[in-house]
Amino acid sequence: MNELKIEDKLRLYASAFENALECMMITDDTRRVIAVNPAFERITGFSPAEVTGKRPSFLDSKTHNMSFYRTIWRAVRVNGSWQGEIQSRRKTGEIYSEWLSITALTRGGALHYLAVFTDITHRKEYESTLYALANYDPLTGLANRNLFNERIELAIKRAAHSRQKLALLILDMDRFKSVRMTLGQATADQLLLAAVTRIKKCLGPNETLARLGGDEFAIIAENVHDATDAVRIARDVLSTMSRVFLSKEYERYLTCSIGISVYPDDCVDANFLQKNADTATYRAKLRGRNNFQMYGPDMHVATFEQLLLENNLRSAISNGEFCLFYQPIVDAETGKLARMESLIRWNHPELGLIPPDVFIRSAEESGLIYKIGEWVIREACQQFQTWKANGIDLPVVSVNVSAVQLRKMNLFSIVASAIRDNRLKPGELELEITESSAMQNSDASFGFLKDLGSLGVGLSIDDFGVGYSSLAYLKRLPIHRLKIDRSFVRDLPEDSDSKAIAAAIIAMAHSLELGVIAEGVESLPQLNYLRSINCDEVQGFYFAQPMPPNEVDFARYQ
């Protein structure tokens, strides 16, 4: 009876060996193969005939060194078993991962070894995919915010241990949301990848680039001697980004704002290091973008004041805190009034009059520019009609339009209703747009500006000469005037370069049958020179500063 039970057990063991899903291999005391199960051949590709009598070295993937294998067999000798992950080779040469258990079997004085292993390649690939999704940006392949947080913590620990400094640079692409809206998601992604490629070329072996999300990136620079190393990186990035990005789909300039914080000079905590760099980036944006700023302790106060200003901005429209000032534009030869430019001011209840350069960028980024811009257009048209009703012969009123407003589809209807409601005639309203905004997505700009022109609206390019216009695009746009930027007027007539630029702009504009306005005229010599090169109209403090509508002296320009 007992003998039968033993036979049954042996059959059961044999059946388990033959039908197990795991690979099984039995060797003698010299580690030569005695038997393998069918799962072994299915997973490794080696048949029993091919491996019997051989040592398992035919499975060696060459991934592990000899000390790795010595550690395994030392554990088997001491503990009787070992288990762990190992890389092996199939018959095809493919490397795969397996979970291996080796057990020493002693029976009747004979020593054998049983190896049981499972192919975990797919599980490893799945884990690798999950890790990549959790730690890497799918578009750029850069470390994402999650992995960046780990790396900055480790970098600080290394810096503390070696008593070295490290710098954190936060890069924010300027107005990239508008780029995405203009070009579309797919093309914007291509542009972002091109920017990443350029930034990588600026970095050395001790510098790591990560994408924190959207259009925000970070550079961890280890083993820096002082802040000048971080400044060098920032300047290199700004320099490489300054070149135009060209492809079949677009011709685009893309700038970034950079904030820099240094460990341990600014702080010793990873979270605060990042907050400080973010604060410096915010300051770089306030300073006009396309620049870098080093963190300073006073920045938090300035940032708080700016945020407070933004919060107040939201209630400024409903509280009626905005007002328009007006500055005359006169005929260069006769001195007669040619048009009146409207300029927004914020009459803050506590801070007094605030000029637009303080709050317009915040209005654009928050989306409040749409309501503010609509108010400006309607208010300027209404004031124009009031002047006309009072017998004042004012030819044209001009209104500045933000680049953000140009992308809003309802701008046409706003302008049309403002003209209709205030009974303006064709040509009595002029819109001023910046050179850069006109050139962005020029095909769409051409169609939209042409539609505005159909309303009888005059169009002028403001700040001409400081942007990145293409003359091929410029001649296509349905515009009527160019305004020479004040930076080219300031040094007239002494500076030869300014003279050459002003003369060239006027000659080019006239060849395109465009009028020219020179802004920033503050002296008689400037005026006389502009007259000598046939500038059509002039504007500046020499004639009048911007003023409330009730202070304009129209009789002066008769």
Q: Which residue has the tokens 């304009």?
A: 552
119, 336, 474, 485 from 56: Cα distances, Å = 16, 100, 75, 80
285 and 329 inside one domain: no
pLDDT above 50: residue 133 = yes
119 and 200 inside one domain: no
Domain assignment of residue 312, yes or no: no
Judge whether 539 and 329 are in contact, CB under 8 Å. yes
Domain assignment of residue 305, yes or no: no
* Count of Cβ atoms closer than 10 Å to residue 286 Cβ: 17
Q: Identify the H or E element spanning 450.
A: helix 442-453
The model's pLDDT over 360-394, given as tens digits with 9 standing for 90+, comes to 877 887 788 888 999 999 999 999 999 999 999 89
pLDDT above 70: residue 303 = no
Last residue of a domain, one of 297, 329, 356: 297
Domain assignment of residue 97, yes or no: yes
Tokens of 146: 């999650």
Confidence label for 348 from pLDDT (cuts 50, 70 and 90): confident
| Low-confidence winner among 86-90, 93-97, 293-297 (lowest mean pLDDT) | 293-297
Judge whether 269 and 159 are in contact, CB under 8 Å. no
| Phi-psi region at 320: left, alpha or beta (left = phi > 0; alpha = psi -120 to 50) | left
161 and 184 inside one domain: yes
pLDDT value, residue 499: 92
Judge whether 151 and 210 are in contact, CB under 8 Å. yes
Across 1-16, average pLDDT: 68
pLDDT above 50: residue 1 = no
| Phi-psi region at 427: left, alpha or beta (left = phi > 0; alpha = psi -120 to 50) | left
417 and 476 inside one domain: yes
Top pLDDT among 463 and 105 is at 105
The model's pLDDT over 162-220, given as tens digits with 9 standing for 90+, comes to 999 999 999 999 888 878 877 788 888 999 999 999 999 999 888 999 999 889 999 99
Q: In this prediction, what percent of the chain has a pLDDT beyond 70?
A: 92
Torsion of CA 489, 494, 500, 503, to 10 degrees: 50
Angle between helices 145-162 and 121-135 (to 10 degrees): 80
Domain assignment of residue 488, yes or no: yes
Judge whether 241 and 256 are in contact, CB under 8 Å. yes
pLDDT above 80: residue 51 = yes
Q: What is the 3-state secondary structure (H, E, C) of 302-313?
A: HHHHHHHHHHHH
pLDDT value, residue 4: 52
Domain assignment of residue 548, yes or no: yes
Domain assignment of residue 523, yes or no: yes
pLDDT above 90: residue 222 = yes
pLDDT value, residue 446: 67
Pairing of strands 165-173, 256-263: antiparallel
| Low-confidence winner among 5-19, 37-51, 104-118 (lowest mean pLDDT) | 5-19
- Count how many Cα atoms sit within 13 Å of the Cα of residue 415 in the half-sphere of its side chain: 29
Confidence label for 442 from pLDDT (cuts 50, 70 and 90): low
105 and 155 inside one domain: no
Tokens of 21: 């899903």
Judge whether 527 and 521 are in contact, CB under 8 Å. yes
Nearest-angstrom CA–CA distance, 408 and 401: 11
pLDDT above 90: residue 103 = yes
Which burial class, exposed, middle or buried, applies to 461 when counting CB atoms under 10 A from its CB (0-12, 13-18, 19+)?
A: buried
pLDDT value, residue 124: 82
Q: What residue spans of 342-441 are helical by DSSP H?
A: 356-366, 369-389, 403-406, 411-421, 435-439
pLDDT value, residue 444: 56
Contacts of residue 248, defined as CB under 8 A and 6 or more positions apart, other chains included, come to none
pLDDT above 60: residue 338 = yes
Nearest-angstrom CA–CA distance, 309 and 114: 75
Last residue of a domain, one of 297, 327, 361: 297
Nearest-angstrom CA–CA distance, 342 and 270: 48
Across 316-344, average pLDDT: 93
pLDDT above 80: residue 351 = no
pLDDT value, residue 448: 72
Judge whether 202 and 240 are in contact, CB under 8 Å. yes
- Domain of residue 254, residue span: 137-297
Tokens of 169: 């640079």
Contacts of residue 170, defined as CB under 8 A and 6 or more positions apart, other chains included, come to 212, 216, 217, 218, 258, 259, 274, 277, 278, 280, 281
Confidence label for 429 from pLDDT (cuts 50, 70 and 90): very high
pLDDT value, residue 212: 92
Angle between helices 356-366 and 299-316 (to 10 degrees): 70
pLDDT above 90: residue 95 = yes
Is the full-model pTM beyond 0.75?
no
At residue 161, the 3 state secondary structure works out as helix
At residue 106, the 3 state secondary structure works out as strand
Across 74-97, average pLDDT: 93
At residue 552, the 3 state secondary structure works out as coil
pLDDT value, residue 109: 75
Across 238-248, average pLDDT: 85
Top pLDDT among 12 and 494 is at 494
Top pLDDT among 362 and 86 is at 86
How many residues are listed for the chain in this entry?
A: 558
Kindly report the average pLDDT of the chain as a whole number: 86
CATH number at residue 163: 3.30.70.270
256 and 366 inside one domain: no
480 and 540 inside one domain: yes
212 and 255 inside one domain: yes
Judge whether 329 and 517 are in contact, CB under 8 Å. yes
- What total of structural domains would you count in the chain? 3
pLDDT above 60: residue 443 = no
pLDDT value, residue 299: 61
Confidence label for 134 from pLDDT (cuts 50, 70 and 90): confident
343 and 444 inside one domain: yes
Q: What's the DSSP call for residue 547?
A: B
410 and 532 inside one domain: yes
225 and 119 inside one domain: no
Nearest-angstrom CA–CA distance, 240 and 532: 41
Q: Which residue has the tokens 């059509």?
A: 536
Contacts of residue 69, defined as CB under 8 A and 6 or more positions apart, other chains included, come to none
pLDDT above 70: residue 65 = yes
pLDDT above 90: residue 25 = yes
120 and 141 inside one domain: no
Across 148-152, average pLDDT: 93
pLDDT above 70: residue 90 = yes
Domain assignment of residue 303, yes or no: no
CATH number at residue 37: 3.30.450.20
Contacts of residue 184, defined as CB under 8 A and 6 or more positions apart, other chains included, come to none
Domain assignment of residue 308, yes or no: no
Across 259-280, average pLDDT: 89
Confidence label for 428 from pLDDT (cuts 50, 70 and 90): very high
- Count how many Cα atoms sit within 13 Å of the Cα of residue 127 in the half-sphere of its side chain: 6
